[in-house]
Structure 1
Amino acid sequence: MKSKITLKELAKLLNVSVSTVSKALHESPEISPKTAQRVKELAKLHNYRPNPVAVNLKKSKTGTLGVVIPNISNSFFARVLSGMEDEAQKNGQQVITYISNESLEKEKQICDMLTSGFVDGVLIAVSEETQKKKDYDHLHALLEYDIPVVVYDRINLGLPTDKIGVDDEKSFFEAANYFISKGITRIGLASGIHHVGIGQLRIKGYQKAMAEQKETFLATSTKPMQLKDKIKALIMDTKVDALLCTDFESAIMTSRVAYEENIKIPEDLKLIGYMSKDVAGFLSPSLSYIEQHPQELGNMAVQILNNRVSGKYESGKFVEEIIATTLVHLESSRL
């Protein structure tokens, strides 16, 4: 009995893209007669049958959007998802949510499912492991299946997709400059996400602002206890007067170190971090934070995807939207 084969497997056997195989099977004039013949012969040999759901997608819309979020414990992504669902609901669409748990392998499995054609498009924030290993083949596979993709939040990946994010670099440039303008120049930075794109952009913004100062003071590590020790060294040994924290974990850790070492915030140490407004106001002292407007980001991500799906954007030209952040001063940055 002849074995069945997928479009992706056909492409691999022929050493061509999935898009080429699909176009050849659909008599596209873009494909040479010789290549088309090779594709059709191999498809017949292996009893290839097109996925009926995928075929239906080409004919009509499903009204469903696939959303991949990397971390369910991060309230930022919960608020982004809320914004996406609100916007989708306005358009009579539903959202199917997948969680990668910052895992490359899990993300690959999710994207493989999404190539089956039961969603109109995909919104994805890529996992930390994907960024670290720079393995984007599964995302290219979505594009080869002509599935519209919008990358949100973690956008500096060089992928040929529409993107939406926040001005990470500018946010820390402005936060550091705020302190500098007040005469505070011994400003440190703590980060547990220095190895991924958004962390690198925030560090870059800090470094630009500090360019005219004598030195910068960094505490970075992906290991919690090591990061805590480095933060403690900045506060107790280097004696920085202010700290910028690129992520929730480093901000909470800095607050903990200050408490343990009897360092008063903001009298002895001023602090600004990336944190949810739902948490920042309940800390003691309350933590000054950078508001990323995640619900607005979610709304706009769905708008961009729907514009791509409906053909409002020119093929081959991609949209990149950047949302301005807002520095919210609470007690921890009080002068």
Structure 2
Amino acid sequence: MKTKITLKELSKLLNVSVSTVSKALNDSPEISPKTAERVKELAALHNYKPNPVAVNLKKSKTGTIGVVIPNISNSFFARVLSGMEAEAQKHDLQVITYISNESLDREKQICELLTSGFVDGVLIAVSEETQRKKEYDHLFNLVEYEIPVVLYDRINVPLPADKVGVDDENSFYDATKFFRAKGIHDIGVVSAIHHLGVGKSRIKGHERAMPDGEELKLAVSSKADVLKQKIKDLISTKKIEALLCTDFESAIMSARIAYEENIKIPEQLKIIGYISKEVAEFLTPSISYVEQHPQEVGEKAMQLLSDRLEGKATAGRYSEKVIATNLVHLESTSF
């Protein structure tokens, strides 16, 4: 008895790409007659039927862009989305948003849905779990289905796609140089995202600014209770003078622990963190932060995708845009 089969399953059985199968079934001159014959024979054997909705949408543009956000509680991504929306309006594009909640399985489900032909392109910041496990097949499937993809923010992924990121490495390089120029040399780095590409880049920037051979003073853990104890050790036992915090959680935790340990900010401890302006300015004392310009990240990502959709980008050649950061000094870095 014949069984139905999907385009993706056909490609696996034939050991060719999804796009090759699709082109062969549509008599593309790019595919050799021998390969086309193999594809059509197997498709017939398994009673392959194309998804009529996907076919119709493939032939005509939907005017819709799928945006995948990893964490809705992070105000950075809300501001990125605002930039995407503003730029999308300039190109008469509509945005539909999906949230992966830092889950690999959820991200896979979203990507499977996005291959159904309901969107013209995809903007995605990959989840923490995806980066940690280094499982990217679902992202490559988007490319195989010839869906234009732009990675934003979390761009340390080996995917042939346009990318827009923040200059994470130089942000902490500049912050470290700032402290050292002020005569502060006992600088610690706190991170709850040390295992992610952005966290690694920030730590690398700090390391690059330190003298060769000097031991790094790190407090890193993705577990809150472990990280809390490591921060205590840094600022109480090792008498660190300044902290660079790679993420929102570590910045807030560092400020709280300093308060609990009766360590005054900025007199005894100075802090620079990756924390949003909306929060940083209303803390007591206010926390100096790295301005990442998320609105610009969103605008640039949507620009790259619209250029790809409008045929302004060269096929097979991809752009990587890096947005420069700057330090915003508030009370926690007062001298």
TM value normalised by structure 1: 0.98
Superposed displacement of residue 28, structure 1: 2.1
RMSD: 1.2
1:80 paired with 2:80, answer yes
Q: Which amino acid aligns with 1:7?
A: L
- Distance between the aligned counterparts of 1:157 and 1:8, measured in 2? 22
CA drift of 1:310 comes to: 1.3
Could you tell me which residue of structure 1 aligns to residue 308 of structure 2?
A: 308
SS in 2 for 1:110: helix
Superposed displacement of residue 214, structure 1? 3.2
Partner of 1:260: 260
CA contact (8 A) 1:103 1:128 kept: yes
Deviates more, 1:101-110 or 1:15-24: 15-24
1:234 is aligned with what amino acid?
L
Matches within 5 A, 1:225-264: 225-264=225-264
Conserved 8 A contact 2:91-2:306? no
Shift of 1:82: 1.2
> In structure 2, how many angstroms separate the alpha carbons of the residues matched to 1:211 and 1:129?
34
- Name the CA distance, whole Å, in 1 between partners of 2:315 and 2:178: 42
Secondary structure class of the residue paired with 2:250: helix
> Structure 2 CA distance, aligned partners of 1:53 and 1:333?
57
Counterpart in the other structure of 2:114: 114
After the TM superposition, list the runs of 4 or more consecutive aligned residues in structure 1 that deviate by more than 6 angstroms: none
**Which whole-Å deviations, capped at 9, do the CAs of 1:71-96 have from their partners, x for residues lacking one?**
11111011111111121122222111
List aligned pairs for 1:26-45, cutoff 5 A.
26-45=26-45
Following superposition, the deviation at residue 213 of structure 1 comes to 7.1
* TM-score, normalised with respect to structure 2: 0.98
Letter aligned with residue 113 of structure 2: M
Paired position in structure 1 for 2:178: 178
Q: Which runs of 5+ in 1 are unaligned?
A: none
Is the 8 Å Cα contact of residues 185 and 213 (structure 1) preserved in structure 2? Answer: no
Partner letter of residue 16 of structure 1? V
Deviation digits for residues 275-329 of structure 1 (CA, Å, limit 9, x no counterpart): 1101000000000000111111111111110101111111110000011111100
Q: Describe how 1:16-35 pairs up with structure 2 within 5 A.
A: 16-35=16-35
Q: Structure 1 residues 115 and 296, CA, compared in 2 at 3 Å: closer, same or farther? A: same
Q: 2-side partners of 1:214 and 1:21: how far apart?
A: 55
Match in the other structure for 1:290: 290
Task: Give the letter for the 1:324 counterpart.
Answer: A
DSSP 3-state at the match of 2:157: coil
Q: Which amino acid aligns with 1:108?
A: K
Opposite residue 112 of structure 2, the aligned amino acid is D
In structure 2, list runs of 5 or more residues that go unmatched: none
Aligned to 1:47: 47
SS at match of 1:183: coil
Report deviation, 1:12.
1.7
The reply to whether residue 215 of structure 1 matches residue 226 of structure 2 is no
What amino acid is the match of 1:36?
A
The aligned length equals 335
Please say if residues 57 and 117 of structure 2, whose CA atoms lie closer than 8 Å, have aligned partners that are also in contact: yes
Letter of the structure 2 residue corresponding to residue 139 of structure 1 = L
Distance in 2, Cα, partners of 1:316 & 1:211 = 41
Quote how far apart the aligned CAs of 1:122 are. Answer: 0.2
Q: CA deviation at 1:212?
A: 4.3
For 1:86-97, what aligned pairs fall within 5 Å after superposition?
86-97=86-97
